[in-house]
Amino acid sequence: MSLHLGDTAPNFQAVTTEGNLDFYEYLGDSWGVLFSHPSDFTPICTTELGKTAALKSEFAKRGVKVIALSVDSLESHQKWAKDIEEVGGVAINYPIIADEDRKVSTLYDFLHPNAAATTTVRSVVIIGPDKKIKLTLTYPPSTGRNFNEILRVIDSLQLTANYSVTTPANWQDGEDVVISPAINDEDAKVKFPKGFKTVKPYLRFTPQPNK
């Protein structure tokens, strides 16, 4: 199954390090980040899960719930968590799915046979409160993810969901944003009282509206 932006994220039930859960019930009305790992006790995965745990407060203030997945067993996850805490300096504070039967991995297209025959690639799925898929990223097993970039993307997704703006290249929270071309200049003057700068008729910058 191949998932696309705007698709409804499939629900599932799974065994995790925090007990059995229903994915939709776990998310509730929150944003969600589901990210997969090739296997337990691998070097890059260990650094990634630790980094995510260290960023708990950053995810929380954005109303985001995080959940990880690996195709190994619950017992393996529990043993691995000790290594993650030792390396990262923080205990795991979110659930890790034990996907031994690869049910969830298949549902979310985390298995790429050309990359690895039986293990999952490094994928990230960001899901909105409406349970729609807002972003997908897939890395090869050899490359660790930048979780600060994932936070940046969440900032953009949440901003653009509530205002008629988009975010330019390398945008960071607090910087100027771009007014949607669908809004004419007269309406833009009303919607964006801080004013705007026209670089091209289709490219108008305005201060971030929620700052």
Q: How far, in Å, CA of 51 to CA of 145, rounded?
A: 10
* Dihedral-angle region of residue 200 (phi above 0 means left; psi in -120 to 50 means alpha; beta otherwise): beta
pLDDT in tens, 27-52: 999 999 999 988 899 899 999 999 99
Q: How far, in Å, CA of 176 to CA of 96, rounded?
A: 37
* Amino acid code (one letter) for 178: V
pTM over 0.85: yes
The reported pLDDT for the residue numbered 103 is 93
DSSP 115: T
- Domains belonging to the chain, first-starting first, are 13-145 (3.40.30.10), 163-206 (3.30.1020.10)
The reported pLDDT for the residue numbered 160 is 96
- The residue annotated as part of the active site, out of 45, 111, 126, 127, is 45
pLDDT in tens, 115-131: 555 566 789 999 999 99
The reported pLDDT for the residue numbered 38 is 83
Q: How far, in Å, CA of 18 to CA of 118, rounded?
A: 25
The reported pLDDT for the residue numbered 2 is 79
| DSSP, residue by residue, 148-208 | HHHHHHHHHHHHHHHSSEE--TT--TTS-EEE-TTS-HHHHHHH-TT--EEEETTEEEE--
Q: How far, in Å, CA of 64 to CA of 31, rounded?
A: 5
The reported pLDDT for the residue numbered 197 is 97
Sheet holding 203-206, edge to edge: 165-166, 177-179, 203-206, 197-200
The reported pLDDT for the residue numbered 39 is 85
- Catalytic annotation present for 45: yes
All residue ranges of the chain with pLDDT < 70 are: 1, 112-120
The reported pLDDT for the residue numbered 141 is 77
